[in-house]
Structure 1
């Protein structure tokens, strides 16, 4: 059963669980930060995602991601990076006191640290957001109930030189496939928001040790 993660009690539980890690990781140097926006769409708890522009350079163009980007030297910390990038990419201004805390950091393929920042952004209509067309092709939300349904969950087994190496989660049957680090961060979020309702995948690389 999905707990009421949007209630004041649910928020305080998450803030408490994330508190120590947030205090330790907030000012730690990182390559990038993303915002994991927990929202309510027509009263239904959901996570907000972006579809990266197909015009961007690099291997991740056209992928589903959370809003975010590289840390700028002028940013105060990773929370500031996540909030700044979110406003630049999707036009969503999130007050700093809406941040619940920092989830477990992950590493990209170049071993750069990516820090996920969880925030409650309240009720919204994804279609009303003014996304930056140079960076984002689409903004959409996936209900937590959708993400928690077993039939919408999958796993990708990665191999190197013909040998099995690791497994990563994939979330299916939404408007776009959620995979890669975005799926890993989604998994972390579901474990926090709905303890006992989500069975995590096997161990995979790219996790930062706390």
Structure 2
């Protein structure tokens, strides 16, 4: 496993029994099937929408604890996204069959992970970035991270880290930023705090949507979201 991987597991008791309960709650077969059905049903509503890019929202477990994997883009990259927290992903290639192919290809290029489509739960509704380009979040479960070998492309990825789902679900780790246009309130975006790096922008929006899908009884969106980054 990538030696620089950081995992934040705040608020989770060390008991193995608790970890098993968390896995059963969020990453169980039953919850996976529920999410797959919802994603399949919603996909028919926007499958004709053009998608410019895709990211892989990577669920996993670390020491038995359900978590989400993030990357920190290299600060040496060109463009506006350097140094930002993100999910593995990028622009769609003309050779990509669909958004899933894009997300898996980009993940392989960034982390050297060769993943099959069997780990994919489905595709979430595309989210426009601040340039208006549609980004499709592809939800997948990588399984135990200890069983994987991550070899990040140093030209694109500075570091890899995970945040436990329980950490993301704690209200004290959730914030928001209000944006104004012409001195008037315009919209609010979520922010996830107290991890190795602040989760904001499009990555925070996708995290917000993922938690809403994964834990509907626990997570309730508190913001009015307009996608931007």
The TM-score normalised by the length of structure 1 is 0.92
| 1:65 matches 2:86 | yes
Q: Residues 122, 32 of structure 1: CA spacing in aligned structure 2 closer, same or farther, 3 A cutoff?
A: same
| 1:45 matches 2:49 | no
| 1:74 matches 2:88 | no
Larger deviation, residues 132-141 vs 95-104: 95-104
| 1:132 matches 2:153 | yes
Larger deviation, residues 86-95 vs 67-76: 86-95
Q: Residues 77, 27 of structure 1: CA spacing in aligned structure 2 closer, same or farther, 3 A cutoff?
A: farther
Counting only pairs closer than 5 Å after superposition, residues 50-199 of structure 1 correspond to structure 2 as 50-125=71-146, 128-199=149-220
Tell me, which stretches of 5 or more residues in structure 1 are unaligned? none
Q: Report the counterpart of residue 32 of structure 1 in structure 2.
A: 53
SS at match of 1:4: helix
Larger deviation, residues 26-35 vs 92-101: 26-35
Larger deviation, residues 128-137 vs 171-180: 128-137
State the shift of 1:29 in Å.
2.6
8 Å CA contact 2:178–2:185 kept in 1: the answer is: yes
Query: CA RMSD of the aligned region, Å?
Result: 1.9
| 1:10 matches 2:28 | no
Q: Give CA-to-partner distance per residue, 1:141-186, whole Å, 9 cap, x none.
A: 1000000001100001111222211100000000000000100000
State the shift of 1:27 in Å.
6.5
| 1:22 matches 2:22 | no
State the shift of 1:7 in Å.
1.5
State the shift of 1:128 in Å.
4.5
State the shift of 1:94 in Å.
1.7
Q: Residues 126, 61 of structure 1: CA spacing in aligned structure 2 closer, same or farther, 3 A cutoff?
A: farther
Larger deviation, residues 160-169 vs 67-76: 160-169
Q: Report the counterpart of residue 224 of structure 2 in structure 1.
A: 203
Q: Give CA-to-partner distance per residue, 1:28-59, whole Å, 9 cap, x none.
A: 43110000011011100001000001011111
Q: Residues 140, 27 of structure 1: CA spacing in aligned structure 2 closer, same or farther, 3 A cutoff?
A: farther
8 Å CA contact 1:37–1:48 kept in 2: the answer is: yes
SS at match of 1:200: coil
Aligned length: 207
State the shift of 1:204 in Å.
2.1
Looking at structure 2, the residues matched to 149 and 177 of structure 1 have their Cα atoms a distance apart, in angstroms, of 15
Tell me, which stretches of 5 or more residues in structure 2 are unaligned? 1-20
